[in-house]
Structure 1
Amino acid sequence: MAGPTTAERGERQQESSGPPPTRRFTPPPLRTIIILAVALVVLGAGCVWLLYGSQWLRVEQVSVSGTRVLTPAQVREAADVPVGSPLISVDTDAIEARLRQKLPRIDVVDVARSWPDEIGLKVTERAPVLLVRKGRNFIEVDDEGVRFATVSEAPKGVPGLELALSRPGSRAPSLRRFGADRLVREAVRVAGALPAAVARGTRTVKVRSYDDISLELGDGRTVAWGSSEKGPLKARTLTALMKASSGARYFDVSAPTAPASSGS
């Protein structure tokens, strides 16, 4: 009689041997746990001391970048960074708030830690788009209508703003309805929409009412712009009109679909 085959003998051996033994987790000795815990505590304490107690990671330098009119010294003085303090503890939000409060010319400021010992101040200054005369000085107005600085000399290439609102007629109600600040913002929008060549040659932006804004160019020409609405269309229309009527002295784009020019 034939004996069992090789496959049968393998199956019988597996059945007789049973399942493999289960390995049990053996926790590390208590001594090892204590050593690891102490090491973590020492490491944490060392990190805290390095950041707050050591002399290596303290503020030693304050760098300033991005200034144009302001000087780095003015920015450092207004920032009042606590030199010598741990770099990790410097309140960057407070520095930013001080700069905005003391130097309104600053539009955007980024205060950053630069390890191991420096605070970096990157500023973006406001740029004037209009000037409001105040006595012998000039108030600079940016593209958001913010009056941010008073200077004794008018920056080159920046037109003046004239609010001619005290005349009788429909102009006075415009002031009561919109307010001077709103009308200044409208003038700013007009200045921002001007073609580059016209903007460079504009001497005065005159506001008589919300929808009666005009430009006086340095060469004596005048542009009736109207309101600040449809600024891009008016800019394109004015450019084409000036090319077509190069000898004209007066241009009207208040209704950009029906522009007009006159004078010679």
Structure 2
Amino acid sequence: MAGRVVSSHPGQSDDGGAEPRGRTLRSDTDREVRRGRVTEGVAGRSGRRAVRSAASEVAAKSTRLTKDDRTESEDFVDARRMESRKSVSERLDSPDFGGPGLFARPKVVNFPERLAERRQAYRRRNIIRAAIALLIVVLVSLLTWALLFSPLLRLQASQITISGTNTWVSENQVFDIAHEQAGKSLILVDTSTIETDIGDLPGVTSAEATKRYPHGLSVTVKAEVPAAVLKSDGGSLTAVDREGRVLNAVNASVKGIPVINVKNAEKSLDNKAVQQALKILGTLDESMRRKIVKVEAKTQDSVTTKLSDGYTIIWGNSSDIALKKAVVDKLLENPKQLDGAKTINVAAPDKATIK
């Protein structure tokens, strides 16, 4: 078989005939497009789209030249001699691609200057925070000093007032307890401690301490009269409360207060018979206490009181004293039901007897 002759002439085919001029042009155009892709190499998807668009326009123009614009004297069109197109960067910035707002190039950042700006912002923020923290500490310190340690709210002894005391509860004793808090800020004054200490005084049933800002304190005491007065053989009188605590010395009349005759007032307070008598007398109403002319307590279960109207009441001991009082009051309200009896025995309140 005869070998095939390849012609090197751009217009000749392999068999010596003339090759169509448009075919040659397209081949050259393809090579030019590939060469253009290399020279125009652009990283990124938008760059590749621009290159493909440019290549399509070149191919379309070369085709039009092949079909419509070629002259009889031209053999073929060299794409390398065609009018150059805009670069990819120019096309990206053109209005057809949305302008620089859509495909704007990133701003070149000066990293040392940016780092210096950030450090300055951090310093400014830390200084502001430190200043605020210092201001808060100063304000809290000043407020603490003003409220707790300055003379602004200091309790003054001259502004401590006492009320409710009587002959048997000394006002001086109450004042001495309250005066222990003088010189302190009213915020630090412990009123509960004051009330407890005053309440432990003999004859005091309750106490209430109230702060009077900015410098005062008022103490209200509820004091009771003595449950009885212990009369010793030597004639000395000792006032005691229902719990057997000694009250102030008796310098006044003891009228209206029951009297218990004992040998020694101090030692008698340990006697159980005397203790039971004090508990009973301490619970009686004031009207009945004033009628008592004599108290006998030979044993702890035989406490007896004699009234000024001639009645004798045998109480026994202090157990069930509320019921015993109710029975006695009921009988004394209507003396007719006693049928002339003068002795009421409520040692056993549910089986009270009269004679």
* TM-score above 0.5, yes or no: yes
Match of 2:338 among 239, 245, 251: 245
Tell me the alpha carbon deviations over residues 27-53 of structure 1, each in whole angstroms, 9 at most, x when there is no partner.
992122112111111102211331355
8 Å CA contact 2:228–2:259 kept in 1: the answer is yes
Name the structure 1 match of 2:315: 225
Is structure 2 residue 228 aligned with structure 1 residue 130?
yes
Match of 2:165 in 1: 67
Q: Which residue of 2 aligns with 1:214?
A: 304
Match of 1:203 in 2: 293
Give the CA deviation at 1:94: 7.3
- Structure 1 length normalisation: TM-score? 0.65
Query: What is the aligned-residue RMSD (CA, Å)?
Result: 3.9
* Counterpart-to-counterpart distance in 2, 1:105 and 1:67: 9
Tell me if structure 2 keeps the 8 A contact 1:163–1:207.
no
Larger radius of gyration: 2
Cα distance, 1:74 vs structure 2: 5.9
Matched with 1:114 is 212
Secondary structure in 2 matching 1:29: helix
User: Partner amino acid for 1:62?
Assistant: I
Q: CA deviation at 1:110?
A: 4.0
More strand by percentage: 1
Contact 2:211 2:218 in 1 (8 A): yes
Q: 2:245 aligns with which of 146, 155, 165?
A: 146
Q: Could you say what secondary structure the match of 1:187 adopts?
A: helix
Report the CA distance between 1:93 and its aligned residue. 7.3
CA distance in 1, matches of 2:142, 2:270: 60
Which runs of no fewer than 5 residues in structure 2 stay unpaired? Answer: 1-121, 264-268
Mark the CA change 1:125 to 1:47 in structure 2 (over 3 Å): closer, same or farther: same
- 1:105 and 1:148 in contact (8 A); partners too: yes
Q: Find the aligned partners of 1:195 and 1:127 in 2 and give their Cα distance.
A: 12
User: How far, CA to CA, are the matches of 2:135 and 2:152 in structure 1?
Assistant: 23
Of residues 260, 266, 272, the one that matches 1:161 is 260
Cα distance change, pair 197–77 in 1 and its aligned pair in 2 (3 A): closer
Structure 1 residues 47 and 127: CA distance shift in structure 2, 3 A: same
Aligned-partner residue type, residue 233 of structure 1: L
Question: Deviations along 1:88-112, whole A, 9 cap, x unmatched?
Answer: 45566776687578x6444544445
2:249 corresponds to which letter in structure 1?
T
Count of residue pairs the alignment pairs up: 224
Q: 1:197 to 1:93 in 2, by over 3 A?
A: closer
Give the 4+ runs in structure 1 shifted more than 6 A: none
Higher relative contact order (CA 8 A, sep 6+): 1
Percent identity (aligned):
27
Encode CA deviations 1:227-251: one digit per residue, 9 max, x unaligned: 3333333333334444212633333
Asked if 1 retains the 8 angstrom alpha-carbon contact of 2:203 and 2:226, the reply is: no
Letter in 1 for 2:145: W
Q: In the alignment, which residue of structure 1 is the partner of 2:147?
A: 51
Task: Find out whether 1:30 has 2:123 as its counterpart.
Answer: no
Contact 1:139 1:147 in 2 (8 A): yes
